[in-house]
Structure 1
Amino acid sequence: MDNKMLRTAACLLLFLSGMCVGERILPLGPFNGAVAGTVKFTTTLTPAEKPFLTVSWSFKELNIITSTSTNNTGPGYANRISLDRATGSLELRNLVMEDSGEYTLTITPDGQLQKQGMVTLNVYVPVSGATIISPAAILIEDKSSTNLSCEASGSISTRVWTKDGRPLHASDRVSFSINNRTVFIQPVHSSNHGTYYCRASNPVSTMTVAHNLTVNFGPHNISITGPSAAAPGSRVTLQCIADSVPPANFSWMFNGNETQVNNSMYVIERLEAESIGNYTCTAKNMVTMRENSTVLNLRASCTTPCWSFLVLLISALSLRGFM
């Protein structure tokens, strides 16, 4: 038995009541609308050859409009509705929260059984004033904890968190309140440093807000970039780098003796025998008060005979041995 036959059978069963509900005349819904906005309940009907005898809309069993040869409009709807008499579609304007609920459409065609449909309307206050609130505190990696709260006005259906453009997930350090309103980070890690976004939304509106979270960490991953071997007489530049927030302060030692402070770059204008040895860079974070060091052993390279340089080097090393 196809759908048409099923609808016909349903209509026959309801013939005594004078109503046929087998044919869907309204979408499944629900319809969504914004406060002060407009919604249109569009039916699935096309204009008939003969005008409908009656078209009636009701809300919670109270009349909105009943249209026959004249229109009977319910209290409070006179300036808020427009009825398409040919299809039964209804436009409702200046929505308020109290408009949320179930709407019923009843149509009596000329010479046919009565048709009825129902649909639900949900009215939402648009999202506004979104912001992320976090305690004002200096955060230090592995020592501090914090939280971020996503606050907004309006009807909030969902809150979605992302960090640096990627979804934020729960972990051994990160957890969420039941409604995703607050993110808890206990304790903070260098990976928690960055920009957090909260998207607060409902079916009729959305708003995204950002917050930069500063986690002081490091120095980590300290290294020296530059050659480990260079030709005698050449200019050599060593660069010390480290992952650190705030940026680290750098100091240098050559063969155990301090040579430079507060500079990440060490420049040897001309490589001599006295310049060969161990260069130590120390990075220190003045907030976390942590420091880390690394060593580069710089040696001479000779692609052609450089006996004079080697002689000077041997002499320098010999002199050090007697000191």
Structure 2
Amino acid sequence: MEPPSASPRAGRGPWQELLLAVSLLISWNPPTTAQVTVESVPPNAAEGKDALLRVLNLPGDTAGLAWFRGETILPTHKILLYVIDTKVTTPGPAYSRRETIYPNGSLLFQNITLNDTGSYILQIINRKFETALVPGQLRVFQPVSQPLLTASNTTVTEDDSVVLTCSSSNTGVSIQWLFNGQILILTDRKKLSQDNSTLTIDPVRKGDAGKYECEVSNPVSFCKSDPVRLDVEESMSQPLLTASNTTVTEDDSVVLTCSSSNTGVSIQWLFNGQILMLTDRKKLSQDNSTLTIDPVRKEDAGKYECEVSNPVSFRKSDPVRLDVEEPVSQPLLTASNTTVTEDDSVVLTCSSSNTGISIQWLFNGQILMLTDRKKLSQDNSTLTIDPVRKEDAGKYECEVSNPVSFHKSDPVRLDVEESMSQPLLTASNTTVTEDDSVVLTCSSSNTGVSIQWLFNGQILMLTDRKKLSQDNSTLTIDPVRKEDARKYECKVFNPVRFRKSDPVRLDVEDKRNSTGLRLGSIIGIALGVLLGLALMAALGCLLLHTRSGRVSPCCDLKELRSPASTPGHGAAIRCTYPDSLPSSTAAVPMYQELQHPEKNIYCQINHKAEVAS
């Protein structure tokens, strides 16, 4: 069908009158003719193509047609006006030079754009100048471009996860997934995002390997992505790293082995988290599974790992720590005292120049059994025995060790002596005269003790007069001298303890006569006795005279002289005594007479008389 001419005519004709009428009629809305419809051909138009809004069942009395863009018939929205009789087309403000109107009212769009999408209104004017409005709809879509399919990883292992993403430059598209050319069946392991652009497979299984595609579409076109192939490898198991020894000494050798249950893997070695640098001391086997270090050096201590890998994954072993120890040196065992007595305490100390060692104690070659009396310090370096018992005597050793060596100390012998009791010091006599002899004896209940003698707090100096017995328990002083007087003590001791006796004081007197008294004392006693006898004789004569009234013949006091009796006997006094003592009435005269004595009233002392036995 030929499109009508759109050239305007000169002057004013019937079509101009119709146009004026249409202009007047747009202000009111007559009933819509039910039979007239507008359809889009195609229903969904592709951008850049042609599209037709086709009018069906146009009435026969139609006089003119007008197309408007939008949902209202505003003058500014008018595209074209067509007069049937004159076949004249008049463009409106919305005309874009790509629209063409046909006599049957259909509107053609050439080289359609996305902006052409929307609603349109066809205004039909009949010859009675009645109008009808018929709506139309044009949908324009951009043809889809090929989408891009990407994968987080195209080679994965079982139990891994993978994410495939379908990217499109178009909007408003639908996405469909294909697996090996078939629509993908979703499962609980295969899930799509809300807009279907992302496919997640977690965990991956061997059966998920194959060709994946995504297809994007809209109402006017569709396009598939290039396929992406997913390869699924068997799961990579963790390798096992073992060492011939994890604690070695310098100059030793060690072999580390990396074992994997997977085949076709590569092995790499790590030291302290870094790739291991090989040297002439560190060598790998042909398949890299074994690392040999020979000889070992201190700097080889640290953390070793092996890593196995294939093109899709890798796994590290658990680390193995290699400790390079120095051989321990001999420890030194010391004791606060090697000879002690029961109930004392002793501390033994084990000293080592090594660090990070263990210490064990031995008693008489056996592991020491701890008790409430035998206790170790927190680091086991000190053994305290408190109190000490007799059975604790013996040989003590300490042994230090680390994982590669051990060493014992030289033994220390502990001797336990019995408790020391106080000795008893006795003397044969504590008071002696010069030229006498004295024996002092020191007695102890302890055996195997030494004895020392003290004089006035100082060690006793032996002389030819002061001699000790063979066991030093007896001190003999013979003869005694004045300077030997004062305090004596004895001290008993063993290698760990001593005790002193209580002191014994020795008194040394001057030399005595045969009676045992000093000469001056003897003379004084004799004179006293004689004077006493004379007074008694005089008193007896006085009493006799007083009673008889006469004076008895008495000896002259001048005749008194020293007795000639045998030694030990006193002088004999011969007097005549009255039969009885004077009465009490005669006491006063007798006293008065004694105040004025006469010579003849004293009795005569016969110094020759013998003393009655």
Deviation at 1:28, TM superposition (A): 8.3
Aligned match of 2:212 = 196
Question: Secondary structure at the residue paired with 2:115?
Answer: helix
Picking from 21, 31, 44, the partner of 1:32 is 44
Deviation at 1:140, TM superposition (A): 0.5
Question: Which moved further from structure 2: 108-117 or 176-185?
Answer: 108-117
Tell me, yes or no, if the aligned pair for 2:42 and 2:51 is still in contact at 8 Å.
Answer: no
Aligned match of 1:63 = 78
Amino acid in structure 2 at the alignment position of 1:59: R
Are 1:45 and 2:57 matched, yes or no?
yes
Cα separation, 1, equivalents of 2:40 and 2:140: 17
- Cα deviation digits, residues 174-195 of structure 1 (max 9, x gap): 1111111111111211221111
Amino acid in structure 2 at the alignment position of 1:53: A
Picking from 158, 170, 182, the partner of 2:198 is 182
Q: TM-score, normalised by structure 2?
A: 0.31
Aligned match of 1:217 = 233
Higher strand share: 1
Structure number with bigger Rg: 2
Distance 1:40 1:115, change over 3 A: same
Amino acid in structure 2 at the alignment position of 1:74: G
Aligned match of 1:124 = 141
Aligned match of 1:110 = 127
Are 1:74 and 2:92 matched, yes or no?
yes
Distance 1:96 1:17, change over 3 A: closer
Amino acid in structure 2 at the alignment position of 1:119: G
Cα separation, 2, equivalents of 1:205 and 1:99: 18
Deviation at 1:55, TM superposition (A): 0.5
Structure with more contact order per residue of length (Cα contacts < 8 Å, sep ≥ 6): 1
Cα separation, 2, equivalents of 1:160 and 1:114: 48
Question: Secondary structure at the residue paired with 2:34?
Answer: coil
- Cα deviation digits, residues 251-287 of structure 1 (max 9, x gap): xxxxxxxxxxxxxxxxxxxxxxxxxxxxxxxxxx976
Are 1:171 and 2:187 matched, yes or no?
yes
Tell me, yes or no, if the aligned pair for 1:124 and 1:155 is still in contact at 8 Å.
Answer: no
Structure 2 gap ranges (5+): 1-27, 236-262, 265-308, 314-613
Cα separation, 2, equivalents of 1:17 and 1:122: 26
Deviation at 1:64, TM superposition (A): 1.1
Picking from 148, 157, 162, the partner of 1:146 is 162
Question: Secondary structure at the residue paired with 2:227?
Answer: strand
Question: Which moved further from structure 2: 157-166 or 26-35?
Answer: 26-35
Amino acid in structure 2 at the alignment position of 1:197: E
Distance 1:165 1:20, change over 3 A: same
Tell me, yes or no, if the aligned pair for 2:150 and 2:228 is still in contact at 8 Å.
Answer: no
Picking from 43, 61, 64, the partner of 1:54 is 64
Question: Secondary structure at the residue paired with 1:180?
Answer: coil
Cα separation, 1, equivalents of 2:228 and 2:96: 50
TM alignment of 1:256-271, pairs within 5 A: none
Amino acid in structure 1 at the alignment position of 2:49: G
Structure 1 gap ranges (5+): 1-15, 220-247, 250-284, 290-323
- Cα deviation digits, residues 143-199 of structure 1 (max 9, x gap): x21111111223342111121132213211111111111111112112211111211
Question: Secondary structure at the residue paired with 1:128?
Answer: coil
The count of corresponding residues between Structure 1 and Structure 2 is 207
Cα separation, 2, equivalents of 1:29 and 1:38: 9
Amino acid in structure 1 at the alignment position of 2:191: S
Question: Secondary structure at the residue paired with 1:98?
Answer: helix
Picking from 30, 55, 69, the partner of 1:18 is 30
Cα separation, 2, equivalents of 1:114 and 1:53: 10
Tell me, yes or no, if the aligned pair for 1:129 and 1:152 is still in contact at 8 Å.
Answer: yes
